[in-house]
A and B are shown apart, each in its own frame.
Chain A
Amino acid sequence: GLARWFPALEVLDVSGTGLSELGEELLALPRLHTLLAKNNRLGPPGSLPKGLGRAPLGRSLRVLNLSGNRFAEVPPALLALRGLRSLSLGGNRLHGIPPDIQELRSLEFLYLGGNFITSIPPELANLPSLSYLVLCDNKIQSIPPQLAQLHSLRSLSLHNNLLTYLPREILNLVHLEELSLRGNPLVVRFVRDLTYNPPSLQELAGRTIKTRNVPYTPSDLPENLVRYLSLASNCPNPKCGGVYFDSCVRQIKFVDFCGKYRIPLMHYLCSPECSSPCSSASQSSTSQSESDSEDEASVAARRMQKVLLG
């Protein structure tokens, strides 16, 4: 039908026409690269034509705008569009983002603002070309640190969500030019960690054995303790040689953008005293190492300051 009459069709705008489904007649359009279907009644299963991924349309489509519809989930049929560069599902009823979003290998622009999204799957970070990510006006409580792997990301919109802090890794996004954070309940004053449970005697003994390299063999200890000792994790603080087992601290550290903005970043440390080498034996001065890690943070912070939109 449609493909026979309009074989050269490249752009189709059916926005605001009250459509409740996009029909199979679109599938054979071999040149259609931009499909705009904003402000319609799409959303229930069957809104998108079956076999989209295998059809000529599935290969040609580069830009798809489904904003202002009634999608409660990202339609699985969409995820087969391997050539898609730009996707908008703004102003729908999405409660989440499927991990299979990573299938959209060519995606550069993703607009998901104005939904009810509560969390972001780390798989979103597997989109190698993503440069523009809009997640504003949702219900997002935290950002997975994996998002720092989005090396091409130039613009990140997070305003009007439920974020209280950001992962420290966000400072690794060196190509980021824009970041919006307003309208989040970002923690304003320094928060002494509230979630630290003091380590057990077993953990303290384990830490000492590991940090002092106390030698042992499997025949020296019960099997469960040998296994326990093998589970030691290194403290993420690069200046700390400490280890921890179960008891690690989530600490909110503020990165001060030269007195302009203070952004709370979440750090994981092996103990509340850890902002400097924290081996229990030494009482090394904390100020030196603290200022070293402050320097790293403030260099990154100065870079981020240029990027932060008020």
Chain B
Amino acid sequence: FRYTRNLVDCGNGKFNLMILCWGEGHGSSIHDHTDSHCFMKILQGNLKETLFEWPEKKGNGEMTKKSERVLRENQCAYINDSIGLHRVENISHTESAVSLHLYSPPFDSCNTFDQRTGHKHKVKMTFYSQFGERTPCVSTRDRAPH
């Protein structure tokens, strides 16, 4: 019912390589990247990436959009916390999308942000499958954004 994160490789602890599958209309929260490098490549379909400024301390207003773009098949993108925050979405109502993600160093939690207020909330990130095997969620709390 929402996009899935499928772990492909752990690179002896130095990185996580995963494939994300986005159904029509599926999107992530606005989130940060826990001081890691994040590379993304579109394998199928298109994904819209919207960049946001970090909210002011004790944010209490609508978050500021920096830019947005639509990434096409085979295009790559990179982000880290010094660049900002982003939301990634499949805005198509007819096509699904698939993306390849590389995170280094690996991380299993991050912050999600409420666009209307800038409030942040830490979430644990979970995998729908690992190395081809379905790994059921431990709990429905704190859903993964990305």
Contacts and interface: CB of A to CB of B under 8 A. Distances in A.
Given A68-B93, A136-B25, 5 more contacts: A67-B93, A88-B24, A90-B25, A180-B27, A261-B114
B106 interface: no
Interface in A138-170: 154-155, 157, 159
A310 B145 CA distance: 8
A206 interface: no
Interface residues of A, number: 32
A62 interface: no
Interface in A78-136: 88, 90-91, 111, 113-114, 132, 134, 136
Interface stretch (B71-79, B97-105, B115-123, B126-134): B115-123
B30 interface: yes
A202 B36 CA distance: 68
A154 B140 CA distance: 12
Contacts of A88: 24
Given A114-B93, A155-B2, A310-B30, A67 B24 contact: yes
B141 A157 contact: no
13 contacts: A39-B94, A67-B94, A68-B93, A88-B24, A91-B94, A113-B25, A114-B25, A137-B93, A259-B119, A261-B114, A261-B119, A306-B140, A306-B142
B143 interface: yes
B114 A113 contact: no
A182 B94 contact: no
A310 B29 contact: yes
Contacts of B115: 182, 310
B113 interface: yes
B116 to A, nearest CB: 6
B4 interface: no
Contacts of A186: 116
Interface string A261-283: 11000000000000000000000
